[in-house]
């Protein structure tokens, strides 16, 4: 009972915060400068990682690029240098802890502890819409993306609890992206996203310090519905969304 009373007392604050959020929708947020900032990008030898490196290079950031693919990494670095950025590359297997620690000692020595000490930095987690809504036959993928979203949310809350306001966090959650990882994906939420579109939205989100980036934005609405709608109705709604793909293992999804 005491908890319910405490919640009721918070209603005026809820109204104020809701109005504040509504007003902010119509006020363009100022983009921060990342000129001269050290930007570490993993998976920089291909796809979204490579395109993100190009965008930061245009903004004159100092780039530290990691990838397991040496050839792809060198191609990315060459283009970034051509755009006027200072670039350091390291061949790193991000599934190997020793590789990560070895490369870290050669670059920034420490990541989060150093950011916290200086109260300055920005950590971007690349997750997926599949980190919020489960998809049949993508069990391992969804599990890893739910973990990524959980990492982002917990890290954000820990920084807030420690009153470290200078270290920002952002989590990217796109729908299917045309990277070749999943064959022939489709959904009624919209067409398969191109990497360039995702990176443009990601850069805007980083520079305006958005905490969660959903692409398309309708996914944010769906994640809210999943928490409040009856389970039976959700099952019907998911069939209407009609997620289809040719699984990597060769299993052909049945039409829904």
Each residue's pLDDT tens digit, 135-186: 888 888 899 999 999 999 999 999 999 999 999 999 999 999 988 778 888 8
The number of distinct structural domains making up the chain is 1
Instruction: Return the sign of the alpha-carbon dihedral for residues 57, 51, 218, 148.
Output: negative
Q: Which domain does 53 fall in, by range? A: 31-240
Span 12-29, mean pLDDT? 81
Q: Would you say residue 133 lies in a domain?
A: yes
Residue-wise pLDDT tens digits, 92-148: 877 777 776 676 665 655 577 888 888 999 999 989 998 998 888 888 889 999 999
- Please report where in the chains the tokens 């990541």 appear, as a residue: 111
Burial status of residue 35 (CB atoms within 10 A of its CB: 0-12, 13-18, 19 or more): exposed
Residues designated catalytic: 141
The answer to whether position 22 is within a domain reads no
CA 62 – CA 203 distance, rounded (Å): 16
Of 67-71, 158-162, 249-253, the poorest mean pLDDT is in 249-253
Residue 41 pairs with which residues in a beta bridge? 65
Q: Does a structural domain hold residue 256?
A: no
Instruction: Decide if 251 is inside a domain.
Output: no
pLDDT at 238 over 50: yes
Looking only at the bridges linking them, the beta strands covering 167-174 and 183-186 are unpaired
Cα(122)–Cα(118) distance, integer angstroms: 12
| Residue at token pair 């420490």 | 110
Residues 6+ apart with CB under 8 A from 172: 124, 125, 126, 127, 198, 202, 205, 213, 215
Is 156 within the bounds of a domain?
A: yes
pLDDT for 60 equals: 94
Q: Is residue 6 part of a domain?
A: no
Distance, in Å, from the CA atom of 176 to the CA atom of 131, rounded to the nearest integer, reads 12
Cis ω before 216 (30° cut-off from 0): yes
Q: Going by C-beta distance under 8 Å and a sequence separation of 6 or more, which residues neighbour residue 163?
A: none
Six-digit token pair at 16?
A: 């104020």
Q: How many CB atoms lie within 10 A of CB 61?
A: 22
1 part of a folded domain:
no
CATH number for the domain that contains residue 149: 3.40.50.720
Q: Which pLDDT score is estimated for 250?
A: 40
Tokens of 114: 């150093």
Q: What is the dihedral of CA 33, 104, 118, 126, to 10 degrees?
A: 50
Pull the structure tokens for residue 93: 């297997």
Give whichever of 74-78, 97-101, 189-193 has the largest mean pLDDT. Answer: 74-78
Three-state SS at 18: helix
Residue 89 lies in a domain: yes
Answer whether 0.85 is exceeded by the pTM.
Answer: no
């Amino acid at each position: 009972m005491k908890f319910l009373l405490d919640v009721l007392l918070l209603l005026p604050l809820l109204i104020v915060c809701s109005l504040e959020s509504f007003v902010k929708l119509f006020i363009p947020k100022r983009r921060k400068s990342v000129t001269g900032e050290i930007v570490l990008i993993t998976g920089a030898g291909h796809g979204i990682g490579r395109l993100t490196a190009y965008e930061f290079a245009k903004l004159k950031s100092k780039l530290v690029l990691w990838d397991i693919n040496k050839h792809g990494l060198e191609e990315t670095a060459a283009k970034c240098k051509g755009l006027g950025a200072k670039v350091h590359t390291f061949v790193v297997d991000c599934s190997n802890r020793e590789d990560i620690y070895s490369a870290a000692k050669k670059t920034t020595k420490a990541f989060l502890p150093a950011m916290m000490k200086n109260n300055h930095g920005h950590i971007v987690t690349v997750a997926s819409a599949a980190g919020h809504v489960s998809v049949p036959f993508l069990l391992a993928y969804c599990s890893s993306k739910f973990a990524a979203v959980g990492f982002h949310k917990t890290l954000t809350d820990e920084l807030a609890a420690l009153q470290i306001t200078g270290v920002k966090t952002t989590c990217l959650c796109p729908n299917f992206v045309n990277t070749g990882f999943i064959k022939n994906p489709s959904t009624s939420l919209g067409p398969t996203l191109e990497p360039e579109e995702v990176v443009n939205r990601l850069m805007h989100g980083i520079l305006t310090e958005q905490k969660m980036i959903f692409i398309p934005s309708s996914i944010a609405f769906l994640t809210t519905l999943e928490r409040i709608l009856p389970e039976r109705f959700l099952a019907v709604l998911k069939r209407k969304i009609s997620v289809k793909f040719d699984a990597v293992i060769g299993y052909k999804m049945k039409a829904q």
